[in-house]
């Protein structure tokens, strides 16, 4: 069903409005998006938990997180650009999701933070018309936090700097993107300095076993992946099966860890 430039379909975690070449195409062809990321987060999220989704976009990963925590849990879904934020709210409403609090704001330590994208332009993450609202995660009135997911195209370190007190207080699992080599050393050094063991997770957005039973990879022969990291508090003293551990903040993705094109 079409609504202007948006398509509506019943997908794995509920009704989804969507568009776009990656997230939208995944929902259109497969009824789900990046189930590899969902699987990793599901390993750490339980019913009744509180999680934070920074860079929630249209709710592609917010909806499965909302299903994971259930009615007694809470999801804070933060999206800085009003266009995908409006679609995020529509997707929450379409599925009668009441355990998720959507926030239209740019996460940063102050309102002087840089919001422009060198790749996508001045208004990639914020509105060209409306003034930008800034929020630090340390300002959220949390009584608990079990996982923070961050996918903000290179601004991950700024997000974590804005949430140091919450991280120190609740010691959540951190799941975040790391796809800018020039920013990686500082990002990994900061997270590891907070007392976290960090693991590489190459996350393919296509899964041949999908909700629509469509085995054809739209991007073949390429394997489009997100370059994600998993941070687990060191005091848990746990090994994460199947994911290589970061041994130095100066490490970077190599062909053994991350072959092929990235999303």
**How do residues 100-142 score in pLDDT, each as one tens digit?**
999 999 999 987 777 777 666 676 777 788 889 999 999 999 9
pTM, full prediction: 0.95
In the chain, where the domains are located: 2-236
Looking at residue 133, what DSSP letter applies? P
pLDDT at 127: 76
Residues with Cβ < 8 Å from 261, sequence gap 6 or more?
Answer: 219, 222, 223, 224, 225
Q: What is the mean pLDDT of each run of 10 residues along the chain (263 residues)?
A: 94 97 97 98 98 98 98 97 97 98 95 74 77 94 97 95 97 97 97 98 97 97 94 95 95 70 53
Q: Tally Cβ neighbours within 10 Å of residue 250.
A: 10
| CATH number attached to the domain at 2-236 | 3.40.50.150
CA distance 259 to 252: 12
CA neighbor of 263 nearest in space, from 200, 207, 203, 220: 203
136, 109 Cβ separation under 8 angstroms: yes
- Across the chain, the runs of DSSP E, i.e. the strands, are 2-3, 6-11, 14-18, 50-54, 74-78, 100-103, 106-107, 134-135, 147-150, 173-177, 196-204, 225-233
């Amino acid at each position: 069903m079409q609504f202007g430039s948006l398509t509506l379909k019943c997908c794995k975690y509920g009704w989804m409005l969507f568009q776009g070449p990656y997230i939208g195409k995944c929902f259109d062809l497969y009824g789900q998006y990046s189930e590899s990321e969902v699987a990793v987060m599901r390993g750490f999220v339980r019913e009744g938990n509180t999680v934070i989704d920074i860079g929630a976009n249209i709710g592609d990963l917010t909806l499965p997180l909302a299903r994971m925590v259930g009615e007694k849990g809470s999801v804070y879904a933060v999206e800085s650009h009003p266009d995908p934020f409006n679609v995020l709210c529509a997707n929450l409403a379409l599925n009668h999701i009441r355990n998720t609090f959507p926030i239209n704001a740019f996460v940063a330590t102050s309102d002087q933070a840089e919001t422009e994208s060198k790749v996508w332009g001045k208004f990639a993450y914020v509105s060209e018309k409306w003034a930008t609202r800034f929020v630090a995660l340390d300002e959220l009135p949390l009584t608990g936090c079990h996982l923070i997911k961050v996918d903000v195209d290179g601004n991950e370190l700024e997000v974590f700097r804005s949430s140091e007190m919450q991280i120190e207080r609740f010691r959540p699992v951190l799941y975040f993107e790391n796809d800018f080599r020039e920013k990686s050393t500082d990002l990994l050094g900061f997270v590891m300095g907070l007392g976290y063991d960090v693991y590489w997770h190459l996350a393919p957005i296509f899964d041949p076993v999908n909700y629509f039973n469509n085995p054809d990879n739209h991007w073949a022969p390429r394997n489009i992946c997100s370059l994600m990291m998993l941070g687990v508090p060191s005091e848990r003293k746990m090994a994460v099966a199947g994911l290589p551990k970061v041994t130095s903040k100066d490490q970077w993705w190599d062909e053994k860890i991350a072959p092929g094109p990235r999303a």
